Amino acid sequence: MGIETVISDEVLEQRIRVAGLKPTRQRLGLGRLLFNGISRHVTADELFGEAVNTGVPVSLATVYNTLRQFVDAGLLREVLAGPGRSYFDTDISHHHHFYHVDENRLEDLPIGVVSVESLPQPPTGSEIERVDVVIRLRRQ
Tell me the Cα Rg of the chain: 16
Residue 52: φ, ψ to 5°: -60, -45
Instruction: Give pLDDT tens digits for 51-103.
Output: 999 999 999 999 999 999 999 999 999 999 988 889 999 999 999 999 999 99
Neighbours of 123 (CB within 10 A): 7
Look up residue 125 and give its amino acid: G
> Hey, what CATH class is 9-137 in?
mainly alpha
Specify the DSSP class assigned to residue 13: H
Q: How confident is the model at residue 50 (pLDDT cuts 50, 70, 90)?
A: very high
For the chain, the domains span 9-137
**CB of 1 closer than 8 Å to CB of 40:** no
